[in-house]
Amino acid sequence: MGIRQTAQPLGIALGALVMPELAERGLRAGLMFPALACTVAAVASAIGIVDPPRKSRAKATEEELASPYRGSLVLWRIHAVGSLLMMPQTVTVTFMLVWLINNLNWSVAAAGALVTVSQLLGALGRIVVGRWSDRVGSRMRPVRIIAASATLTLFLLAWADQLGSRYQAPLMIAIAVIAVLDNGLEATAITEFAGPFWSGRALGIQNTSQRLMAAAGPPLFGALITAARYPSAWMLCGFFPLLAIPLVPARLLPPGLETRARRQSVRRLRWWRAVRSHALPDDSRRPGPPG
């Protein structure tokens, strides 16, 4: 799923590299590129996409056909987390180019190149976090760490932007990368939990909620930037991943990886005990007197 999820940041990277330069020659030239890309994608989809074999509903058990939403809030929590984490992604994609040009006085070519680099790093990052989730036996624990990292980075960006710090551009690259890391993990967790007969609907709800958040982001933050400038926008944006942290169902285990997850938990517990034992004073580790 991580490899599959590289498609979106790679597309944004290509658009950021090509479209600003084409738009300098006129609106028609700028819009011809996405039109051509959509045409190629439509032809490739018609030729290359084939549905995989699927178990028939007649042979499915009642448990497989039962709604995963009944009696459980896991999917709703993932939907909420995905929607909240969509806001930093939307805000950075929408305003990063303009912010670099207007706020840092970068050229169109330089700003487009930086957006391209950040999206390429984001595409690579999606593969890395997908592999990470396989190794630790959890999709949601990495999502919680990503949410916390996004929160911290956005608050630091607001601080750096307010002070005019030289760290503004590096922090913007960091949040642009972090903001795109979670999508594949959430999609994987949804398909694993919902099963083959509900995963389509569950992913549809996930994508719809994320698109609604993405639609609300640009006008909301555009108005805020106009009224209160960029640092306030970065600060407000940081509260969206902050709200997502307690909603992440971190104890959700992927089917087939339960043993690996338990093994990782035992290792963390042993590491924590070792750290505590070394942190205690020598007297506290000595055995008490006999009797």
Which residues touch 271 (CB under 8 Å, ≥6 apart)?
none
Helix/strand/coil for 79: helix
Question: 10 Å Cβ neighbour count for 55?
Answer: 11
At residue 266, the pLDDT reads 55
DSSP 286: S
At residue 203, the pLDDT reads 94
The CA distance from 5 to 185, in Å, is 9
Beta strand residue intervals within the chain, DSSP E: none
The CA distance from 128 to 150, in Å, is 17
Phi then psi dihedrals of residue 250, to 5 deg: -65, -20
The CA distance from 280 to 282, in Å, is 6
Sign of CA dihedral 3, 150, 85, 106: negative
Q: Is 68 exposed, middle or buried (0-12, 13-18, 19+ CB in 10 A)?
A: middle
At residue 52, the pLDDT reads 80
Q: Which domains does the chain show, CATH number per domain?
A: 4-15+71-268 (1.20.1250.20)
At residue 257, the pLDDT reads 59
Least Cα distance to 110 among 128, 131, 129, 96 occurs for: 96
Average pLDDT per consecutive 10 residues, the chain (291 residues; last block may be shorter): 88 86 86 92 92 79 85 93 96 93 90 90 94 91 96 96 93 95 93 89 95 94 93 96 96 70 58 63 48 44
Phi then psi dihedrals of residue 232, to 5 deg: -65, -35
Burial 165-196 (b: 16+ CB within 10 A, else e): eeebbebbbbbbbbbbbbbbbbbbbbbbbbbe
At residue 25, the pLDDT reads 85
pTM of this prediction? 0.81
In this structure, what token pair is assigned to residue 210? Answer: 């994320």
In this structure, what token pair is assigned to residue 71? Answer: 């009696």
CB 85 within 8 A of CB 147: yes
In this structure, what token pair is assigned to residue 243? Answer: 């709200």
For the chain, helix (H) and strand (E) counts, in that order, are 11, 0
Tokens 């911290």 found at: 152
At residue 284, the pLDDT reads 45
At residue 265, the pLDDT reads 56
At residue 285, the pLDDT reads 45
Least Cα distance to 180 among 94, 114, 88 occurs for: 88
* Spacing of C-alpha 172 from chain mean position: 15
The CA distance from 176 to 219, in Å, is 19
